[in-house]
Amino acid sequence: MQKSARVLGPYRNGDKWRLVILDGGSRKAVVAETHEAAMALRDDLRGALKKHSARSFADSLDEYLQHLVDRGVSQDTTDKVGRMLRPFLPLDEPLTAIDAERAAQLYLDETKRKKSNGESIANDSHHLLLRRIKHFYKWALARRYVQTNPFAEVSPIGRPRRGKQQLRIDEARKLVATAMERAKILDAGSTAILMQIFLGLRPTEALVRVVRDLDDEGRILWVPYGKTQNAKRRLQVPDALREVLLVHAKDKAADAPLLGPPGEPMHTRDIIRYKLQGLCAQLGLPRVCPHSLRGLNATLALDAGATAHHVAAALGHASFATTARHYADASSVANAGLRRVADLLGTRGEQGADVRQLASLLRSSLSALELQTLRDLLTT
């Protein structure tokens, strides 16, 4: 366990006086002009260190979560951060209780943890935990609650899984048909599933919509805020979904929850997970998670010819890189790139095709081996 922070000195340093601050693995020296000034500074430093070292993880975490809210992070995201960090941190111990060795062991133990169903925790989950704990310590460092980040040198273990299992097209049709029937009788979970598939909404984005977000007689759905700055957007509602959403909105106040019968409170994201699992089991479909429905939306949109830029914007992403990495099926991403190549080759003006743009598209669409094959063919 890390030793408590302390101040040593003062020691004569030429015509001045030096104090040494030891805090975990860090060592810092400060110099005062006179012995009296050094003694006063020592008392101040010891008082500050005692105050900071006495701060428990519990108190600090509460302050950190409030900091996130003050910065504009949604309450839903802030709550998830709290639920992730509280079981991991020794809440009743002071912030100085974790050194680099203990930090590495804590993370290693987390990678071996089993979930309640007996399955191993996913690499993505403990990678996210590590990122969040490092951000927590970054905040603590800025507040001078600690002198070092014990997790700074801890590296994520295992490879992340890119993309989530998605339903195939016929499977999605079965899910949509059943969810549509339940949505017509104001089933909030089923309607939220349809909103994810048709509009690419995040689970919470679908559930927190109020009646006034449905605009232009149900043709437009406003998303005024969300997980990121890019989450703010206005989406066109397909006719099939429009009819269902209008049924949900009927005879409700403008600020009432859009989904569910009149008077029903706003649901949490758990209802989508519960409903989706039930529908997949009932229909004999692969078990997929709610977030995969956003990926399904991106995949189908790309297959239908939507541009990468428009798909990313519809999902609330700053760039298509996030969409391609985590959501859209790899084949659809590649096909979208190849369609752009074909479009460019088929559009010839007086100067012919834009060779530089064509080269850029080919590099982004083909593998290294395919590019080399293309070079060989062009030179023969």
pLDDT band with cut points at 50, 70 and 90 for residue 166:
confident
Q: What is the mean pLDDT of the chain?
A: 79
Number of domains composing the chain: 4
- Angle at which helices 270-283 and 188-199 cross, to 10°: 90
Decide if 269 is inside a domain: yes
Residue range 188-200, pLDDT digits in tens:
999 999 888 888 8
The pLDDT, as a whole number, for residue 330 is 44
The pLDDT, as a whole number, for residue 357 is 60
pLDDT at 228 over 80: no
What is the percentage of the chain residues whose pLDDT exceeds 90?
Answer: 37
pLDDT at 348 over 80: no
Q: Which of 19-23, 127-131, 253-257, 328-332 has the lowest mean pLDDT?
A: 328-332
Last residue of one domain, picked from the residues 290, 309, 340: 290
Instruction: Identify the burial level of 150 via C-beta atoms within 10 angstroms of its C-beta, where 0-12 means exposed, 13-18 middle and 19 or more buried.
Output: buried
Residues 198 and 284 in one domain: yes
Residues 23 and 70 in one domain: no
Residues 187 and 95 in one domain: no
Question: Smallest Cα–Cα separation from 191: which of 206, 202, 204, 201?
Answer: 206
Residues 180 and 199 in one domain: yes
pLDDT at 45 over 70: yes
What range does the domain containing 47 cover?
A: 6-53
CB 147 within 8 A of CB 24: yes
Decide if 82 is inside a domain: yes
Distance of CA 172 to the CA centre of its chain: 25
pLDDT band with cut points at 50, 70 and 90 for residue 318:
very low
Residue range 63-113, pLDDT digits in tens:
999 999 888 887 878 998 999 999 999 998 888 889 999 999 999 999 999
**Residue at token pair 């996913």:** 122
Q: Which of 124-128, 305-309, 354-358 holds the top average pLDDT?
A: 124-128
Last residue of one domain, picked from the residues 269, 290, 311: 290
Direct distance between the N- and C-terminal alpha carbons of the chain, in angstroms, rounded to an integer: 68
Residues 282 and 208 in one domain: yes
pLDDT, greater one: 228 or 129: 129
Question: Smallest Cα–Cα separation from 196: which of 146, 140, 259, 138?
Answer: 259
The pLDDT, as a whole number, for residue 175 is 87
Decide if 23 is inside a domain: yes
Q: Can you give the chain as a three-state secondary structure string?
A: CCCCCEEEEEEEECCEEEEEEEECCEEEEEEECCHHHHHHHHHHHHHHHHHHHCCEHHHHHHHHHHHHHHCCCCHHHHHHHHHHHCCCCCCCCEHHHCCHHHHHHHHHHHHCCECCCCCECCHHHHHHHHHHHHHHHHHHHHCCCCCCCCCCCCCCCCCCCCCCCCCCHHHHHHHHHHHHHHHCCCCHHHHHHHHHHHHCCCHHHHHCCEHHHEECCCCEEEECCCCCHHHCEEEECCHHHHHHHHHHHCCCCCCCECCCCCCCCCCCCHHHHHHHHHHHHHHCCCCCCCCHHHHHHHHHHHHCCCCHHHHHHHHCCCCHHHHHHHCCCHHHHHHHHHHHHHHHHCCCECCECCHHHHHHHHHHHCCHHHHHHHHHHHHC
The pLDDT, as a whole number, for residue 51 is 61
9-36: average pLDDT: 86
The pLDDT, as a whole number, for residue 255 is 94
Claim: this prediction has a pTM higher than 0.85: no
pLDDT at 217 over 90: yes
300-304: average pLDDT: 51
Decide if 155 is inside a domain: no
